[in-house]
């Protein structure tokens, strides 16, 4: 059984993951409105991935007989100054999620919630990848600055993002 403090922290992380999903969806809508449909596609897929992360924690808690408490999600930012700012905000969001995962891991360690530690190791690895990807995208936007043809090339590149293969959400067997 997970301690109440670990359950509360996991519920908070579920909320963070759902909030991240919602934020990415708002970013996608902004890009759609700016006719950067490739960027919008990439951000929609990122929204789906964050939703999957929330469900991974949700199923972990269900499988451990813990109580899931879903919380209110704040309205996401919907206006940005530019497409590059969207991705700078995405990077900031990923850095914050990483910070929260690290804190949650430390808490689970202190509470001797060993099953949670194993689950959270996946999230630590995932966040390393998420941060690297976001940093790479921000660097690309910094490199191309306001070159219209380079921006269109980036948009086309992001539109080619494919759905991830494999990966588990700890869904119960049916």
Query: Mean pLDDT over residues 6-13, rounded?
Result: 98
Query: Residue 82: pLDDT band by 50, 70, 90 thresholds?
Result: very high
Cβ neighbour number for residue 158 with a 10 Å cutoff: 22
Max Cα distance, the chain (Å)? 56
User: What contacts 21, CB < 8 A, 6 or more positions away?
Assistant: 47, 48, 50, 51, 54
* pTM for this entry: 0.92
Q: How far is CA 88 from CA 12, 27, 83, 140, 169, in A?
A: 24, 11, 9, 11, 28
Query: Which residue ranges make up each domain of the chain?
Result: 4-71+79-159
Query: Residue 11: pLDDT band by 50, 70, 90 thresholds?
Result: very high
Query: Residue 166: pLDDT band by 50, 70, 90 thresholds?
Result: low
| Residue closest to 26 by CA, chosen among 70, 73, 96 | 73
Q: pLDDT per residue over 32-44, tens digit each?
A: 999 999 999 999 9
Res 146: pLDDT: 87
Three-state DSSP state, 10: helix
Give the CATH H-level superfamily of domain 4-71+79-159.
Ferritin, core subunit, four-helix bundle (1.20.1260.10)
């Amino acid at each position: 059984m997970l301690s109440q403090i670990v359950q509360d922290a996991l519920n908070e992380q579920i909320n963070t993951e759902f909030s991240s999903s919602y934020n990415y969806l708002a970013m996608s809508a902004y890009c759609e409105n700016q006719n950067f449909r490739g960027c919008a596609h990439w951000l929609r897929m990122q929204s789906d991935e964050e939703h999957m992360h929330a469900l991974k924690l949700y199923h972990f808690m269900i499988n451990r007989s813990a109580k899931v408490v879903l919380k209110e999600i704040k309205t996401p930012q919907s206006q940005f100054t530019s497409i590059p700012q969207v991705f700078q905000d995405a990077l900031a969001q990923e850095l914050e999620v990483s910070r929260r995962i690290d804190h949650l891991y430390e808490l689970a360690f202190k509470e001797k919630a060993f099953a949670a530690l194993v689950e959270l190791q996946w999230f630590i690895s995932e966040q390393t990848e998420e941060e690297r990807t976001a940093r790479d995208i921000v660097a690309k936007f910094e490199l191309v600055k306001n070159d219209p043809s380079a921006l269109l090339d980036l948009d086309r590149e992001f539109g080619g993002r494919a759905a991830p293969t494999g990966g588990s959400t700890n869904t119960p067997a049916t």
